[in-house]
Amino acid sequence: MPFRVRSKTSILLAGLVLMATGCVAESEPTVVVDEVADSSQASEDVAVVSGSDDYVILYSGRAESLVQPLIDVFTERTGIEIDIRYSGTSELAAQVLEEGEQSPAAVFLSQDAGALGALSDAGLLASLPDSITSRVDPDYTSRDDSWVGVTGRARVIAYDSETVALEDLPTDVDEIVAPQWSGKIAVAPANASFQSFVTAYRVIRGESAADQWVSGLVMSDPQKYDKNSAILEAVEAGEVSLGLINHYYWYRMASERGGDQMRAQLYFLPAGDPAAIVNVTGAAILQAQSSDLDATALVEFLVSDEAQEYFVTTTFEYPLVPGIGAPEGLPELSELAVGDFDLSDLRSIATTQELLRNYGLIF
Amino acid sequence: MSIPLVYVVWRAVDVPLSDITAVLMRPRVQELTLNTLGLSLAVALTALVMGVVIAALLSRVRFRGASSLLLISALPLAVPSYLASYGWLVAFPGLNGFLPSWLLLTAVTVPYVTLPVAAALRGTSAEGEAVARTLGLGPLRAFVDVTWPQVRPAAVAGALLVFLYTLSDFGLVAMLRFETLTWGIQQSFAASFDRSQAAILALLLVVIALVVVAAERSARGQVVTSRAKLATREPVGPLSRTLALLVVLAPPLVGVVAPLAGLAARLFQAETLRDIDLSRLGLATAATIGVSVLAALVALAIALPLAALAARYSGRWVGALETLGYLPHALPGIVVGLSLVFFSLAVLPPLYQTATILVFAYAVLFMPKALGTARSSIEGVSPDLVNVARTLGARPLNAWARVTLPLALPGLGIGALLVAIATMKELPATLLLRPTGVNTLATELWSRTSAGEFAGAAPYAAILVLVAAIPAMILSGVRRTAKEEL
Amino acid sequence: MTTLGVHNVGLTYGSRTALSDVSLEIPSGSLVAILGPSGCGKTSLLMAIAGLLGIDEGVITAGHRELSRSGKRVPPEQRGIGWVPQEASLFPHLSVRDNIGFGLRKGRRRNERVEELAALVGLTGFLDRSPGQLSGGQAQRVALARALAPSPDVLLLDEPYGALDSVLRHTLARDVARILREEETTAVLVTHDREEALDLADVVVVMDGGRIVQVGTPVEVYESPATPWVASFVGDTVELAGVWRHGTLQCEQCGAADFCEPSEKRPGCAGHVVCALGEVAATAQGYQPADGDEVRVVVRPEWLAPGSSGIPATVRGVSYAGHDALVEFDMEGQKERVRARIAAPFLPSVGQGFQLTLRHPALVFPLPSEVELA
């Protein structure tokens, strides 16, 4: 029967291919001694001593198209091979939590601070050395040296330029929940950046005011989305008038479609407004691999000038290392709101979630 | 096979009872549960009705190009649910809620009913219906009274798969913003990093699945083996035929053509078109095909003894084992994935994040798809044949291998193909368990869409549907030859 | 060659009793027909002998070897008992050649044997066909060849000619019986066709309701049935009411004394009976009625003949069968009607008058007991 024959040969083929790809993925690369020795560009970051096998496994919650080119530069520079596992930040965090000390990962690159906080609370993160933590603005990194901020993303409002005039835009976060925007606001309540914003509101304006704001939001019938990118799409399609997102999503869409052609435009609330806070992405080293010098080298690289510049030009995110300029057209980091609160404080995040849960915004 | 269940119970047991009740009593949880139940039941029912109607139309109405119609009706199987919703959202960004979720999920799951019912119809004699007609029953009544009871087991088994599929689906309902228990589980992981809460919700899913699987076993009815005689095809007026054609084509149009068109539209919209890295595409395709073939074989290997037992004995233990086999299918991929992370690290650490554990995960996840067809194909072999073989000197196992197995093979092949298709489309467990650096078409598609690179995502989506369409088409073809040979 | 023995075998399916106290001796080389209506247990008996079903009571033996007992069963593959099921049940995925050779070990000898058997059943050119390409009769022959291939000691045939038309049935059944005799195979044939049983078997076993009702040669079963039910199952009957009288009787109606003389070999006692046919010679089947007892009288239609003297009767209906006719008569002064078998070509027409005599002692049975009637 033709069916039988087909399956036999394809099994063989598939098996061979799978073994091949599996082998490729799993094999540990041999130490490329020659390259390091001959390289005249050997960076001071590289220390080829014990505790280094020129190999690191990185769990990245950030996209491959963004991270891979940067890591490739690192590998070329140092000869350290990096195997990267790409997935969603929260899925990766759940995976690391499940893996515990048996996790094969050495470095965790996170899309938000909350995930890092969860891992830190579980005791899975190593204390980062001064050489790393001192490079970053203390407002935008961990309080206990368990993780370091790598880039910043500002909270902004994306608005439908075809139906909303500039003058009508809210100048204060409280105006967002005004009746005129009823049914036309988009939020992603499950998203860490939204929750950080609400946490900021609580800290800056107080608990009862925050409670009032959230109830006001619910009463104005907001459109709920899972992701910031979905919100931006909705604004771009004219489905909603206002969307609370992170700034760089707009720039990413603009690079594909042309900022001038876009219906959705960006608007920054005045500095000091809770809705204008800056969230961070961050990196950490897992406790079980704390002695791996290659891991340290990698994280150091992420907060190096070169990497920071890369983020600025590639994703339009804010650098967190002083001395690197903000992305073109964006207000400087110093001009944006800063709250006195720990971005990764899960207890505080938990209270925010309780608030949102009470009003049915999240589960 | 029971690893995900053990994991879920393990995590849930950690939580004090008072907390569990607190979670369950939360109105939001009840809302999510109702949403999940409502959607799953609705989709299962509509898929059942539509599947039977389409299968009946295909076998009783004279269409031009009838065989290719069957092929086309199988195509929605090849489209992952998240792709279907994504494609529609491109055209209608405002699409959300129960109704679109219901319609889209029905469109992509109808083949789970259509294909087995079409196969069963080919195996039934149309004589009974003809007799009923001479006794004065109209064609519809004749079908319902005479033929339906014979195809009922196949139809109900298919509807069960649809129910479990909907129960565990995350991608589509998340995109359409319809909040179900799977969404709640995702939230528990993502927002609260609360695995215990996730486990409680997963347990709820398992309980629901348990009830439904048990109900299906009682509604199953007996498998009737009868001599196949070709059914007479009804002569039908052109208007009715066009109508029938529309009904048959509806799921492929909604579930395949529309989403792909939406994706193509995206392709043209994008201003930056990244060069397609052919070697990468090739590797991902090879990996996808590789794991799905292996997963199909492993799933079949697990399902076979279970199905053989279930076909011969109807004791309570066997029934319990069969039910157990179905339950993990109700869990979303992330739960199954995490359970296997837990399991492999606890038991076989060197296997963690290897192709082996990944294939095993797929087999565990999708084995139920193979179980139903395996059981009914084994049941379909007349016991007389095995008895004769034994009197000719063959020991029981020998007789089984030389007689039952070859005859059940087409049905087993069907089960294997279903597993293969499901594996190709799978995302969350793959992301968790794949060897670092290895990608399937689904993960490549995901990483591009989540980074907003829609143009780059399109070729992967297209190849994924194409690759998955191959087994889907074989599925409709194999069934045909299988039944005709028997 | 061994004798197959069934000793007091009982078999229950849940609440239903399939076999009850069944005992049977099947001599080596004989062809035994098991005759009975549907559901009488004959298939169950066959499957128990084959080892496909276990028994709850009694023992099944082959010579001195014990095959089945409650709780213990030699598996079918070790019994050397072949089985031809009701529906041929050829393996659809194998060719005719592979079907026939299924029970044979691989080797050169196998091919030879397959061809030998194909020739035996007359299907030499069919070896490479698939079962789907065979007619009903051809399929049954392959099934027979397949069962014979491993040279079994005993062959069990479960209504093997059921699906065939009557002409084919007849020729095939005779062919099979001939083959079995040539191969000296003991055979047990289950059938509900009485003609088949009477024609082919050495021994006929009549079963009803899970029990054996009578065992005997075809002549014994036909001429001396154990009960009226057996009588009517094995052949046509005419039932009359009668009163038993002791003492043999000269058969005035038939005229020849030796026809009425009861044979010493017949069971029951000889006497005569007063019935619608008048005072006729009779033998009581297996019991001793008292003088004056009311009894059931059974005669076979072919025992009634029209003649020059006898009871006046008028033809009321004719059931034509070509070689003879079953003619229904009204007898003068009697309520009960009788049927007689009249050979062609001298067929009567309705309304004709005849004189009927009985040429064979009637069979006498007790009246049905209250239990039976209920």
Domains of chain C with bracketed CATH? 4-229 (3.40.50.300), 237-373 (2.40.50.140)
A286 and A216 fall within a common domain: no
> Which among B94, B292, B354 has CB closest to A26?
B354
Residue B131 lies in a domain: yes
How far does the CA of residue B221 sit from the closest CA of chain A (Å)?
31
Contact at CB, A21 and B286, closer than 8 angstroms? yes
Same domain, A233 and A354: yes
Q: With residue C187 as reference, give the H or E element that holds it.
A: strand C186-191
* Closest CB to C150 among B390, B393, B396: B393
- For residues B141 and B233, membership in a common domain is answered with yes
Taking CB atoms and an 8 Å limit, are A233 and B354 in contact across chains? no
Identify the residue whose tokens are 């995206």: B266
DSSP B378-423: HHTS-HHHHHHHHHTT--HHHHIIIIIHHHHHHHHHHHHHHHHHHH
Q: In the listed set B226, B251, B276, which residue is the last one of a domain according to the structure? A: B251
Q: Mean pLDDT of all residues in chain C?
A: 83
Is the pLDDT at C202 greater than 70? The verdict is yes
Dist CA C325 CA C317 (whole Å): 10
Same domain, yes or no: B218 and B282: no
Asked whether the beta carbons of residue A17 and residue B287 sit closer than 8 angstroms, the reply is yes
pLDDT tens profile B84-113: 988 888 778 778 889 999 999 999 999 989
DSSP state of B64: T
pLDDT of residue C142: 92
Q: Which residues neighbour C355 within 8 Å (Cβ) at sequence distance 6 or greater?
A: C306, C307, C308, C309, C310, C311, C312, C313
With cut-offs at 50, 70 and 90, classify the pLDDT of residue B452. low
Is the pLDDT at B425 greater than 50? The verdict is: yes
pLDDT score, position B484: 38
- In this prediction, residue C265 has a pLDDT band, given cuts at 50, 70 and 90, of very low
Residue B257 inside a domain? The answer is no
Is there a single domain that holds both residue A77 and residue A175? no
Q: Shortest CB distance from A86 goes to which of B286, B338, B447?
A: B447
Q: Compute the average pLDDT of residues B123-128.
A: 67
Same domain, B235 and B296: no
Q: Do B395 and C150 touch (CB under 8 A)?
A: no
Q: B364 and B477: one domain?
A: yes
C150 touches chain B (CB under 8 A): yes
Q: Which residues of B touch C (CB under 8 A)?
A: 382, 384-385, 387-396, 399, 402-403, 406-407, 485-486
A85: closest chain B residue by CA:
B436
What's the mean pLDDT in B173-202?
84
In a shared domain, residues B126 and B12: yes
Token pair 């609580």 is at which residue?
Answer: A202
Instruction: For C121-153, give the DSSP string.
Output: TT-GGGTTS-GGGS-HHHHHHHHHHHHHTT--S
Residue with tokens 């010679």: C281
Same domain, A228 and A260: yes
Ramachandran quadrant class, C310 (left: phi over 0; alpha: psi -120 to 50; beta: rest): left
Name residues whose C-beta falls within 8 Å of residue B476's C-beta, 6 or more positions apart in sequence.
Answer: B70, B71, B73, B74, B115, B118
Residue B30 lies in a domain: yes
Closest chain A CA to residue B283? A21
In a domain, A310, yes or no: yes
C48 touches chain B (CB under 8 A): no
Contact C293, C269 (CB under 8 A): no
CA–CA distance, C218 with C220 (Å, rounded to integer)? 5
- Listed in sequence order, the residues at least 6 apart from A222 whose beta carbon sits closer than 8 Å to its beta carbon are A185, A186, A187
The helix or strand, by DSSP H or E, that contains position C65, with its residue range, turns out to be strand C65-69
pLDDT at B222 over 60: no
Here the CATH number for the domain that contains residue A233 is: 3.40.190.10
Lowest mean per-residue pLDDT among A340-354, B28-42, B137-151, C21-35 = A340-354
Chains B and C touch (3+ CB pairs under 8 A): yes
Cβ contacts (< 8 Å) between A85 and chain B: which residues?
Answer: 436-437
Instruction: State residue B1's pLDDT score.
Output: 67
Q: Do B392 and C147 touch (CB under 8 A)?
A: yes
* Assigned domain for B262 exists: no
Q: Interior CA angle at C221 toward C219 and C224, to 5°?
A: 90
**Co-location of A89 and A207 in the same domain:** no
Contact of C264 with chain B, judged by CB distance below 8 Å, is answered with: no
Q: Identify whether B247 is part of a domain.
A: yes
Read off the pLDDT of residues B255-280 as tens digits, 9 standing for 90 and up: 999 988 887 777 666 544 556 678 88
CB-nearest partner of C77 from B382, B384, B394:
B394
Q: Is the pLDDT of residue B223 over 60?
A: no
- Name beta bridge partners: A278: A154
The verdict on residue A363 lying in a domain is: no
Stretch 56-85 of chain C: residues touching chain B, C-beta under 8 Å: 75-77, 79, 81-83, 85
Q: How many CA atoms lie within 13 A of A187 on its CB side?
A: 25
Please report which residue ranges of B441-453 form alpha helices under DSSP H: 441-450
Q: Where are the alpha helices (DSSP H) in C184-332?
A: 194-200, 218-223, 228-234, 257-260
The count of CB pairs under 8 A between chains B and C is 63
How many angstroms away from the CA of C93 is the closest CA of chain B? 7
Residues A132 and A243 in one domain: no
Q: Which residue has the tokens 């062919």?
A: C175
CB of B143 closer than 8 Å to CB of B125: no
Give the closest residue to B162 by CA, choosing from B105, B203, B211, B117: B105
Note the pLDDT of residue B343. Answer: 86
| Selected residue of C52, C53, C154 to mutate for chain B interface (largest B Cβ count, 10 A) | C52
Q: Are residues B105 and B32 in the same domain?
A: yes
Dist CA B435 CA B352 (whole Å): 8
pLDDT in tens, C139-153: 988 998 999 998 888
Average pLDDT of the residues in B298-317: 83
Chain B: give the shortest CA distance to residue A143, in Å: 20
Q: Do residues B212 and B279 share a domain?
A: no
C147-194 pLDDT, tens digit per residue, is 999 888 899 999 888 777 788 888 888 888 888 888 888 999 998 888
Residues B168 and B107 in one domain: yes
Q: Which CATH number do you get for residue B372?
A: 1.10.3720.10
Q: Are A324 and A100 in contact (CB under 8 A)?
A: no
Q: Is the pLDDT of residue B340 over 70?
A: yes
Identify the chains in contact with A, defined as 3+ C-beta pairs within 8 A. Answer: B
Contact A141, A133 (CB under 8 A): yes
Q: What is the pLDDT of residues A58-78, one digit of tens each?
A: 999 998 888 999 999 999 999
Each residue's pLDDT expressed in tens, for chain A with a length of 363 residues: 333 334 444 444 444 544 444 443 333 333 333 333 333 333 334 443 446 788 899 999 998 888 999 999 999 999 999 999 998 888 899 899 989 888 999 999 998 888 898 899 899 999 999 889 998 988 888 888 999 999 988 889 999 999 988 888 988 899 988 888 898 999 998 888 898 889 888 888 888 999 999 999 999 989 988 788 889 989 998 889 999 999 988 888 888 788 888 899 998 888 778 888 888 899 999 998 888 889 999 999 999 999 999 998 888 888 988 888 888 777 777 777 665 666 677 667 778 888 888 888 876
Distance of CA A112 to the CA centre of its chain: 4
Residues A316 and A205 in one domain: no
Predicted TM-score (pTM) of this structure: 0.75
Question: Within this chain, do residues A112 and A59 fall inside the same structural domain, yes or no?
Answer: yes
Contact A311, A317 (CB under 8 A): yes
Q: pLDDT tens digit string along B132-185?
A: 777 777 777 877 887 888 788 788 888 998 999 999 998 899 888 888 999 888
| Domain region containing B239 | 1-251
- What pLDDT was estimated at residue C254? 39
Annotate A71-137 with DSSP letters as a single string. Answer: HHHHHHHH--EEEEEE--HHHHHHHHHHHGGG---SEEEESSHHHHHHHHHTT-BPPPPHHHHTTS-
Q: How many residues does chain A have?
A: 363
The phi, psi pair for A7, rounded to 5°, reads -70, -35
Q: How far is CA B21 from CA B11, B30, C329, in A?
A: 15, 12, 89
If asked whether residues A172 and A287 sit together in one domain, one would say no
- Number of domains making up chain A: 2
User: Is C54 within 8 Å of chain B by CB?
Assistant: no
Q: What's the gap in Å between the CA of C29 and the closest CA on chain B?
A: 19
Task: Tell me, yes or no, whether B220 and B310 share the same domain.
Answer: no
Does B279 lie in the same domain as B424? yes
> Which chains are adjacent to chain C, needing at least 3 Cβ pairs under 8 Å?
B
Structural domain contains residue A66: yes
Confidence of residue B123 (pLDDT cuts 50, 70, 90): low
Residue A253 placed within a domain: yes
Question: In terms of pLDDT, which residue wins out, C267 or A276?
Answer: A276
Q: Are residues A251 and A287 in the same domain?
A: no
B9 inside domain: yes
| Residue C294: HSE in the Cβ half-sphere, 13 Å Cα cutoff | 5
- Please check whether residue A242 is in contact with residue A259, taking contact to mean a CB–CB distance below 8 angstroms: no
**How far apart (Å, rounded) are the C-alpha atoms in residues A44 and A65?**
27
Q: Does any CB of chain B come closer than 8 Å to the CB of residue C188? A: no
CB spacing of C52 vs B396 below 8 angstroms:
no
Q: Which of B5, B115, B195 is nearest to B376 (CA)?
A: B115
Q: Please judge whether B94 and A234 are an interchain contact, meaning their C-beta atoms are less than 8 angstroms apart.
A: yes
A18 found inside a domain: no
Given B196, B216, B251, the domain boundary residue is B251
Q: How many CB atoms lie within 10 A of CB B318?
A: 16
| Co-location of B51 and B141 in the same domain | yes
pLDDT per residue as tens digits for the range B458-483:
788 888 888 998 888 887 775 554 44
User: Does one domain contain both A168 and A259?
Assistant: yes
Task: Tell me if residue C24 falls in helix, strand or coil.
Answer: strand
- Chain B residues whose CB is inside 8 A of the C117 CB are none
Q: Is residue B459 part of a domain?
A: yes
**CB atoms B345 and A22 under 8 Å:** no
Residues in chain C within 8 Å Cβ distance of B387: 47, 50, 52, 76, 83, 85
- Look at residue A6 and tell me if it is in a domain: no
Residue contact B395–C52, C-beta within 8 A: no
Is the CB of residue B426 less than 8 Å from the CB of residue B362? yes
Touch C-A: 3+ C-beta pairs under 8 A: no
Domain boundary pick from B251, B280, B313: B251
On the CB side of C358, CA atoms within 13 Å amount to: 28
Residue A217 belongs to domain spanning: 153-278+340-358
What was the pLDDT predicted at A304? 92
Please state the domain count of chain B: 2
Asked whether the beta carbons of residue A237 and residue B287 sit closer than 8 angstroms, the reply is no
Q: B56, B151 in Cβ contact below 8 A?
A: no
Residues A292, A264 share a domain: no
The pLDDT assigned to C248 comes to 56
The H-or-E segment that residue A57 falls in is strand A55-60
Whether B263 is covered by a domain: the verdict is no
- Shared domain check, B288 and B183: no
Residue B217 has pLDDT above 70, yes or no: yes
Q: Which of A201, A197, A218 is nearest to A210 (CA)?
A: A201
